[in-house]
Structure 1
Amino acid sequence: MSTPAKIFPTWAFFSVVINGILMLAIALLILRQQGLTAFFGSAHSATPVKHNSQPQVTPTPKLGPRHKFTYPQWVDVLKKEAKAKAEKPPQNLSILAGDSLSLWFPTELLPEDRNWLNQGISGETSDGLLKRLDLFDRTQPHTIFVMIGINDLIRGASDETILENQQQIISYLRRVHPKAQIVVQSILPHGGEEATWERREKLLAIPNSRIRKLNQQLQDIATKANVKYLNLHPLFTNKQGNLRPEFSTDGLHLSPQGYLVWRSALQIYTQIELDKGYKGEVGTRGQGE
């Protein structure tokens, strides 16, 4: 008796195709790195270039006195910024919800075809993000991009805790923003032995293989919840499974090159996976009218 052939879901096929396109985009971006360096050269011309075995450290984007804010001060600022967007709703609003990786996304590198509200806080965890999602309850976003989890791992949280918080984040966003397209983004790898972050030992205690497994489980949660999943992880990973040095400043945070990769992924993904559905109907698979 022959075994019935397994049916390959249509959404899974398109997910593979989209990821393949993103990988191609990354290959092209690597070839453009020299041009990107020139683009940012004027902003960092005063920074000496050190030639050694360690990856070059790119200056962290400056936010003026904001980088010294305490957590409550950050929450207060984000609340006010969200309130402004709610009172005068812009067209095509997209929200970045997450930690320092989202926080430091250079404004000039965010896709121009959208209005952006950055709701990232440095050091944020999945539990912290879950507790402050109500800050942008009154906004009317087209899309909400969520990336969270690396700080949970650094602080020793279990995979079960992280995934439970992610599930609650998804459930909350679907309930409060039924017309928004929710995109859960994968947790990025870290730089491993090449990392220069000040708490490097914390990163080395987290196998990147654990992050890959966690992302697989996160994708399953997103699929079951009928929200989108954007797998950025392979775009930032080298042959050793670590964060590519050229895409990072210290093995944890992203360089301008890294943000260009992320930007391109957002552009391609939204054009192929999101905007096509938004023209005909509001929301994603299974999200309410």
Structure 2
Amino acid sequence: MTNTGRAVAVALLLAAGFLAGYGLRGYTEPPEDAITAAYMANLRVFQQRVLMDLPDSAIPVYGDSHIQGLALQRADSRLVNFGIGHDRVGTLAERVREGASQRRFSTYVVAVGINDLMHGASSADVVGPIKSLISDLPFARRLIIGSVLPVARTRPGAEAINERVRDVNESLSALAATRARVTYLNSYEVLADDEGYLPSRYHLGDGLHLNSEANRLWLRQLAQALDGAEAMAQ
């Protein structure tokens, strides 16, 4: 089978799995199997091609499915979506470094971590790689680091996950406070309820993925963070 044939076969399998798991309540997470891995690898290659042809003024936005589902142009026309569903902090950092080895931009946005925490990672497992990534981008004038969003109380292990979410966000906020070129994007504060859970009015029914209302709140926060980061850089 040719490379094109393999890509088509993977796409068809993914589409079938997606349609089978998509019901009235919204997106259902597929298992992290070979098909998912192939999907992520292929999308990474395609995104790398896009990266090479971007204008110098572009702002790459790296993340997981929370980012992938955003209409980023609502916040700023320079933003380009490099979100990949299921991504975790380690592979995301690899993607950013790989891209920066070929194209460098003055501003980056990174938001990742919930997939790590849902699979048992500690707060240090998430914060450490992000801290290292910041150090690996000394040429960037502005780095916007997004908070990790909580899950709904209906998710298995939600209480423990959200406790680590809060720990990560506190560390990211403190990290940004000590670095002039780093802005902490605190979308957590507008999307978490008083008990630290994702309210039902903000997700698709799965307790994790954001609906349009929540996405627009997130984008409003991002637009404000971009304005603030640019003012600080001047």
TM-score of the two chains, using structure 1 as the length reference: 0.63
SS at match of 1:213: helix
User: Is residue 246 of structure 1 aligned with residue 210 of structure 2?
Assistant: no
Pairs aligned (count): 202
User: Is residue 265 of structure 1 aligned with residue 221 of structure 2?
Assistant: yes
- Give identity over the alignment, percent: 23
Instruction: Give 2:78's aligned residue.
Output: 115
Deviation >4 Å, runs of 4+: none
Q: Deviations over 1:245-275 (max 9, x none)?
A: 211112111101111101111222322x123
TM-score of the two chains, using structure 2 as the length reference: 0.77
User: Is residue 150 of structure 1 aligned with residue 118 of structure 2?
Assistant: no
Which residue of 39, 50, 57 corresponds with 2:25?
57
Instruction: Give 2:39's aligned residue.
Output: 70
Instruction: Give 1:104's aligned residue.
Output: 69
User: Is residue 132 of structure 1 aligned with residue 87 of structure 2?
Assistant: no
SS at match of 1:132: helix
User: Is residue 204 of structure 1 aligned with residue 173 of structure 2?
Assistant: no
Mapped contact 1:219–1:229 kept (Cα < 8 A): yes
Question: Equivalents in 2 of 1:171, 1:154: separation in Å?
Answer: 26
SS at match of 1:72: helix
Question: Equivalents in 1 of 2:163, 2:121: separation in Å?
Answer: 16
Q: Deviations over 1:177-220 (max 9, x none)?
A: x2431011110111112xxxxxx42x536342331122101222
Alpha-carbon deviation of 1:79?
Answer: 0.7
Of structures 1 and 2, the one scoring higher in RCO (CA 8 A, sep 6+) is 1
Residue type at the aligned position of 1:76 = V
Alpha-carbon deviation of 1:116?
Answer: 2.1
Q: Deviations over 1:96-148 (max 9, x none)?
A: 111111111125x5324x32221111111111111121343143434211111
Taking a change above 3 Å as real, the CA distance of residues 79 and 233 of structure 1, as seen in their structure-2 partners, is same
Taking a change above 3 Å as real, the CA distance of residues 142 and 214 of structure 1, as seen in their structure-2 partners, is same
SS at match of 2:108: strand
Question: Equivalents in 2 of 1:128, 1:58: separation in Å?
Answer: 26
Mapped contact 2:153–2:159 kept (Cα < 8 A): no
SS at match of 1:192: coil
Mapped contact 2:62–2:109 kept (Cα < 8 A): yes
Residue type at the aligned position of 2:224 = I
Residue type at the aligned position of 1:191 = A
Instruction: Give 1:187's aligned residue.
Output: 148
Question: Equivalents in 1 of 2:230, 2:178: separation in Å?
Answer: 21
Question: Equivalents in 2 of 1:265, 1:232: separation in Å?
Answer: 6
Question: Equivalents in 1 of 2:172, 2:56: separation in Å?
Answer: 31
Taking a change above 3 Å as real, the CA distance of residues 132 and 215 of structure 1, as seen in their structure-2 partners, is same
Mapped contact 1:82–1:136 kept (Cα < 8 A): yes
Taking a change above 3 Å as real, the CA distance of residues 182 and 156 of structure 1, as seen in their structure-2 partners, is same
Q: Tell which deviates more after alignment, 212-221 or 253-262.
A: 212-221
Task: Flag the structure with larger Rg.
Answer: 1
Alpha-carbon deviation of 1:57?
Answer: 3.3
Pairwise CA RMSD of aligned residues? 2.5
